[in-house]
Structure 1
């Protein structure tokens, strides 16, 4: 394991003062209580008293004694001198005249306050055991373990050792953990399984790629054959039998971390590993890969069933348009017969005679037959066309029935029963369909499944079950195991003893009462106050009026007028922008690397120290290749070692990963938060979320259609979260244009920066009652921009309250009994989300998808209606609040404009085939956007200071309107060279390319 994982900044700050302590730190670590004063006052002379106090507070704060005990910030000296009533602080240098005094004072402090040396037993052994257990159960980076260990040493009054001692200890412990993991995993498979795993790395004459590379390759097409291939891939992985091995004692995080090596590193590199590590890596790969392969197969199934339904609908509509002329002609003929019947002057005896004069019997029979054949009932769903695709369904159905075993909750039991019936009749030419469970058959399918003579049509029944199966999977009424994306979210919630022990902690962390009565009383009071305040202010609120529409009162809010930009702001903006230097994009990244060291977060995937000269230059080039969407070719320089193709490819494969991108981005966000200018824009407690759309022209499962954004093609949405300091602190890729409400919570719960946003602003698409309810439970404020408040419903808790002019608007009553009856489950969901046992996207999908919400979803929705009404009343009453929401959303839109400018290559289209590759590329884009935002903020802050020094009046309200999203001064298009090599000036020819030197193709390398 590497012992060089700390940055130079971390090494320099270890055991030393880095800047002045904050007022909170001064109060906590540097306050002298009565005991400390007694110890201090035993020393003779002000210099000894002050020096002793400094050493005492230093060891409290840093966990160690300094070589130069008075090398501390002046604020510390001033604070302690004031506490000791020492007016002459210049006496402190005398403390250095007698070096033995420092040592004697340090020993006295150690003795009195029970500080221990790092090597003292049994404390050292306990520390090593704690560190080992921490490294075993988690996948934390060595730098995080270093910080945690330092904090633990300080907390337990163990003096910090030298930085190299602690680094070597962490490295040795992590090495022991890795070797133990390799040893345990390598012993699990038997001889036959070992041979099968080793065979994954071999290349034979029939298969050019290794079997490992084939298994890593996810499906990219939506077809019957693609689904069969995906299922066969799952069968191959299952045949290894790794899931049957006893791996329960090994933490899942370790298995996932080890499997990442096999999912990304070339098979040849794995083959060169020591035997125990190689076999352990393959075991972890096979274990994790079974869940991945299951998810991929179900992804194909979902899209395939969706395509079958949509294609049948399109064919039905085309056929209907084609026969519309014949239908019209027959209908017109029948209309003539109808007019005869309706004619009051025509006797009943003469009706037939008059009809036959208009139409012959054959013509009338033909018209009736034609109408019956071509006309469609009002509830027609084009199922007849779907039945014509029976042969396509039979291509994959036998394999699907045999391979996937579904599980179900109570709501999904009818679908599961129908699916098991299909499994029981598979292979039978003429099965007995009388025993088919019909609970799954919907009303629209009824006339197709159950024929007029009572028989059950096998084809219609099968398609009905397939449609309901996919719908049940989306609602998570059906699920599979093992799986990540299609598993049962309910099983991941805190349960049993785990929930009983965590309940009180969750209630304290979320500031919620364990019983619902008190919370409802508080909400009732808040709601009454909000209604009263809004009603009282309504006569003076010119932007809001009550209108009567269709006999119902509704609210109408006028659009916000554009704020005029004062001349002082326009002048300041022009001055600041004119001071920003012109710079090339690579220089921006390298300069921010010098200032923040964010590229140091990119470590080699094997976790061994693999650093080369000018690594930051190579990482910079790879980031630009991804963020600008231009690939590596434009950045290759054969004459520069850091920019050769082999170096860039090596860096791209081994250093650029989702986890390293997240850590690097967190460092940028944390740095931005410390700049005074950014603090003028906001404190990081407010954020917005919005989606950035990209067309994906290659075949992929992770894309969806939307003609508004993607035309005739398919695309993805990069849903990203922007802080009020203009930084993007999280992002995720969703196929197509998935509802924002399904992912809106993810950024707040899963982001890894120091920001703690409490309020999230979105467009209307992110809104739902369930979202409001979950936000309230988790202690967040949800603030969507509402396109039409008049369509929103206002709810009440007090049925007898009179809200004046708003009383008729509050027409709906919240069902408090649902909240009360399910309160413990509401707390359990919130606690599980907060503690990370279940992902926000899984819970949101389970709660919001489906036409029949569960009781839990209804209870959360009822709670959300209260929170939504409180928000609506504030939104209606406060124009400044509405404008603040608009301002924050505009910041997110501004980041999108900057992202588009950076992502200029290949027409701004994402050409990665796999979801992981798309997330990696767009995360790199978000990282580069944050680099530009941070660079602009640095220089804008410097420009403002420059203007102040020149005597320019800078108003705080003008500073708040500045934006670091300008990019006209940054060159992103690269530089072109116009110097020919000398051999070409003499009429020579360039050397031909090597046949093996192919340029990279985005999206062709399979990645999981």
Structure 2
């Protein structure tokens, strides 16, 4: 049976508070009049109103035992009845009350027609959803919309389960019917306990990629070839929704070979095909990742070699400079031409002669420039065969009309086996390569123009890597490197949503009005800032015309802040992290989001205790086996590992985090820290092993690792986390976190450091209605754009060095809107498009348009930034919060010396989600404890106001315990939450 906690099926809260009783269970005048009509006695009205308010809350008539005593006593008090009056109506009267209530509320009884109606709705949803809980929620939503009474939960569960089973059986049969005998044999061999050497296995399908080393690339290429020996599995899944395929693949990935043997043949085959298909897709992505990383590494090694050669030739450079100095000394004496020539010739001969000196000069000239391209060939050769094989295995497609690079790539692949130094040019179009590359690649031999084979190969592969990053080249069957244009809404679809987009965003919905409004805004802001800055209190222009921004003065803590913090420390109870997870579970029941992928109740003993231990063990990075060693034999490491694999998925952890965020947002104390309308994004490095795909050397932090990119609210709670590589520009993911955040805290202003901004990010955030306000170092280095060439300013004019290209924005306005509405419709994430716009593309007009719009938006922000000291202080304060969160996580992530030991990128991100869940629970508990301490201090006569409370932070660790035995204690009941977090009303209402 599906766990009712994982559905939206309405139930009573065990202890409704006074506010809920007043708002939800107090009858209105019309309801009281209805009750008087239906029954003459006061006792009858009491019993009828109990049924009415219960039905209004739930949508069905509950059994008497489940109605909260608080509700009954609330109505008893309102009707002035004594405790001797029975709240339960006789069965005959109860049935009459129920009929009258349905009529009064215009609700239809659940009958055969309703069953058929929701069966159709469930069947439609089951083609894209796979969890019973989700299908039950669809049925509930449909019944409420059609004003039907909800049936018993078991009825919905059986109906959803039956429809889901029928739908899935049809899909399984659909896949099985397409399998050839050879494909069936392939799938059967995946599950052999002792496979033949070289045979594809289930573990191979699940195996994560490794680093960019030669052996690892060979392994991944071999894996892809083996996977593709089955053929493209997508053919077998035609007509099945992508979400359904991903769900089936996730189920298959969590199962062992022994688990598959208990599954019926058609289902087993379908799950394996989905897993195989996803493995093919992800392996293509990983191959491209490794190709890009290897090409980047080859270029890096060539640059490093150039530096080494410069050092090696430094002595020769000094010798040549010495020769030049001697010649210049001779020329200073002003000898006649013949004497000067003779003396110079003698000097040259003394240093080896003109020919030798010329050769040395040419060598030095080569290595004293910044042109490292001639050196790349030396690092390319070792990887050449593998890179050729990798490129051949991918189906590459140009996303524009320009086919010059694909044609050049085909030419290079055609001549892969050639070993000659030169290739015939064959009128190959190389117009896309730079002049530096051209000097290396194209050579003139007599009247014939030839191509240097090795330099041509390196050149083409370099440009291929660049265009894969910008999206000018896509990979068929890929996910990350697919043609993003196929995910965009058509303009016809966009036109349908334009009006609502304009209302929501406040932006004009025609190209002309959009540009006109933006131009007027830039004009007005620039003029206003020019007036503000004339007094020199914000910014000054020095004697050389350079702008100088006034330094911010650190805010002084209010008097008494340190004393308050010390007194709170004294009153905080000592707690272990595990005890905190148990307390928050009691208050919020966050573990209800965990369980089998099907949504069924967990078939394990003490699931709540084991879920808490799993979250603690993985979230604090102890791992399953180290955690189990400290549980006094309560559980073993294998069980914790299985719970992580089968019962807890990343999406479920995110749902639990959302539960905590929403509850945290209802606490009064965080309102003293922020509004929730601001958030800051920043990354912190987590160490992972060097042979992991995500592992890259981080220049700023040193060492190998990946970046946990956090979005943290100004109320101190983290809203979302991504795990990205060190080589990725963080700004690519800055908007994803806000859009993926589905909690009640929805910021509209986003702060970051310099890494969190670029022109396309400014443009896209503006179109999505997000105010991007980063903390920018060296802001003077950025270009300010005038609204028109004629715009001149009295004071800040030296800041402006260019003019906005309004024509480009207006011409491609539809493209901007298509991207924006496609993101809002969930067709693609901002990171998908920002990866394509992260570097200049010679073909991509969309990039250039986003650049032009970003120039306007960033200029608007910079003008506000330099003229508003309070804004700069707010940005600094909010970004300091996210930096504090990083330190807080470091303290909690204490196992294995803070090293992420898993090599699977998906599992690595899952570990960080666990960490966020633990952190959110500790923040929640700390806030509760601080609230209790504040309440206690006020009761003891201390004067505390909101200004003092605003200086506090929930990132407290001094009173927490990380070590010892890990025992889950759910028998100790914490104080009720509504009492624990209450603050004096004078503080709340300030």
Specify the SS of the correspondent of 2:731. helix
CA, structure 1 residues 70+481, in 2 after alignment: closer, same or farther (shift >3 Å)? closer
Q: Give the deviation of 1:306 after TM superposition.
A: 1.6
Contact conserved, 2:784 with 2:799, CA < 8 A, in 1? yes
1:956-971 equivalence runs, <5 A:
956-971=946-961
- Distance in 1 between residues matched to 2:574 and 2:13, nearest whole Å: 37
Q: Give the deviation of 1:779 after TM superposition.
A: 1.3
Q: Give the deviation of 1:579 after TM superposition.
A: 1.4
Q: Deviations over 1:11-54 (max 9, x none)?
A: 7438997874599989xx98778xx8996785576957898788
Contact conserved, 1:585 with 1:971, CA < 8 A, in 2? yes
Q: Give the deviation of 1:384 after TM superposition.
A: 2.9
Matched, 1:586 2:578: yes
Specify the SS of the correspondent of 1:370. helix
Matched, 1:954 2:955: no
- Distance in 2 between residues matched to 1:844 and 1:202, nearest whole Å: 44
Contact conserved, 1:291 with 1:481, CA < 8 A, in 2? no
Partner of 2:806: 816
Contact conserved, 1:628 with 1:902, CA < 8 A, in 2? yes
Partner of 1:466: 461
- Distance in 2 between residues matched to 1:757 and 1:74, nearest whole Å: 36
Matched, 1:548 2:542: yes
Aligned length: 959
Q: Give the deviation of 1:77 after TM superposition.
A: 12
CA, structure 1 residues 89+411, in 2 after alignment: closer, same or farther (shift >3 Å)? farther
Contact conserved, 2:310 with 2:368, CA < 8 A, in 1? no
1:927-938 equivalence runs, <5 A:
927-938=917-928
Partner of 2:404: 414
CA, structure 1 residues 505+125, in 2 after alignment: closer, same or farther (shift >3 Å)? farther
Specify the SS of the correspondent of 2:660. helix
- Distance in 2 between residues matched to 1:447 and 1:765, nearest whole Å: 35
Partner of 1:489: 484
Matched, 1:752 2:735: no
CA, structure 1 residues 527+804, in 2 after alignment: closer, same or farther (shift >3 Å)? same
Specify the SS of the correspondent of 2:450. coil
Matched, 1:632 2:632: no
Q: Equivalent of 2:60, from 57, 61, 64?
A: 64
Q: Give the deviation of 1:459 after TM superposition.
A: 0.8
Matched, 1:3 2:27: no
Q: Deviations over 1:900-930 (max 9, x none)?
A: 1122333323333232232122222222111
1:207-222 equivalence runs, <5 A:
207=197, 211-222=201-212
Q: Deviations over 1:151-172 (max 9, x none)?
A: 3322321012223333333333
1:748-897 equivalence runs, <5 A:
748-797=738-787, 805-806=795-796, 809=799, 812-850=802-840, 852=842, 854-897=844-887
CA, structure 1 residues 876+193, in 2 after alignment: closer, same or farther (shift >3 Å)? same
Structure 2: tracts of 5 or more residues without a match: 968-990
- Distance in 1 between residues matched to 2:712 and 2:530, nearest whole Å: 34
Partner of 2:972: none
Q: Equivalent of 2:347, from 349, 358, 362?
A: 358
Q: Give the deviation of 1:174 after TM superposition.
A: 3.2
Contact conserved, 1:719 with 1:732, CA < 8 A, in 2? yes
Partner of 2:438: 446
Moved more, 161-170 or 747-756: 161-170
- Distance in 1 between residues matched to 2:952 and 2:161, nearest whole Å: 46
Partner of 1:254: 244
CA, structure 1 residues 95+359, in 2 after alignment: closer, same or farther (shift >3 Å)? closer
Contact conserved, 2:190 with 2:200, CA < 8 A, in 1? yes
Contact conserved, 2:205 with 2:275, CA < 8 A, in 1? no
Q: Deviations over 1:174-227 (max 9, x none)?
A: 333333333322322111111111111214465399622123323313244433
Structure 1: tracts of 5 or more residues without a match: 978-1008
- Distance in 2 between residues matched to 1:22 and 1:791, nearest whole Å: 60
Partner of 1:990: none
- Distance in 1 between residues matched to 2:318 and 2:793, nearest whole Å: 57
Q: Deviations over 1:841-863 (max 9, x none)?
A: 11111122226483323333333
Q: Give the deviation of 1:521 after TM superposition.
A: 4.5
- Distance in 1 between residues matched to 2:344 and 2:776, nearest whole Å: 60
Partner of 1:156: 146
Q: Give the deviation of 1:255 after TM superposition.
A: 0.7
- Distance in 2 between residues matched to 1:729 and 1:94, nearest whole Å: 48
Moved more, 729-738 or 238-247: 238-247
CA, structure 1 residues 412+960, in 2 after alignment: closer, same or farther (shift >3 Å)? farther
- Distance in 2 between residues matched to 1:208 and 1:434, nearest whole Å: 42
Contact conserved, 2:306 with 2:375, CA < 8 A, in 1? yes
Partner of 1:560: 553
Q: Deviations over 1:583-624 (max 9, x none)?
A: 222222222222222223221346554332233333333333
1:593-608 equivalence runs, <5 A:
593-605=585-597, 608=600
Q: Equivalent of 1:238, from 190, 210, 228?
A: 228
CA, structure 1 residues 853+589, in 2 after alignment: closer, same or farther (shift >3 Å)? farther
Q: Deviations over 1:738-796 (max 9, x none)?
A: 22211100101112323222111111221222212211211111121233444444445
Q: Give the deviation of 1:116 after TM superposition.
A: 1.1
Query: Normalising to structure 1: TM-score of the pair?
Result: 0.87
Partner of 1:124: 115
Matched, 1:649 2:641: yes
- Distance in 2 between residues matched to 1:899 and 1:954, nearest whole Å: 30
1:521-532 equivalence runs, <5 A:
521-524=516-519, 526-531=521-526
Specify the SS of the correspondent of 2:880. helix
Partner of 1:681: 673
Partner of 2:564: 572
- Distance in 2 between residues matched to 1:71 and 1:212, nearest whole Å: 51
- Distance in 1 between residues matched to 2:28 and 2:870, nearest whole Å: 43
Contact conserved, 2:775 with 2:876, CA < 8 A, in 1? yes
Q: Give the deviation of 1:99 after TM superposition.
A: 7.0
Q: Equivalent of 1:185, from 137, 156, 175?
A: 175
Q: Deviations over 1:421-479 (max 9, x none)?
A: 12233334555443433223321111211124232111111110011110111111111
Q: Give the deviation of 1:97 after TM superposition.
A: 7.2
Moved more, 141-150 or 232-241: 141-150
CA, structure 1 residues 153+446, in 2 after alignment: closer, same or farther (shift >3 Å)? same
Partner of 1:136: 127
1:887-926 equivalence runs, <5 A:
887-926=877-916
Specify the SS of the correspondent of 1:459. helix
Contact conserved, 2:617 with 2:624, CA < 8 A, in 1? yes
Matched, 1:476 2:471: yes
Q: Give the deviation of 1:969 after TM superposition.
A: 0.6
- Distance in 2 between residues matched to 1:912 and 1:535, nearest whole Å: 55
Specify the SS of the correspondent of 1:660. helix
Q: CA RMSD in A?
A: 3.7
Moved more, 149-158 or 443-452: 149-158
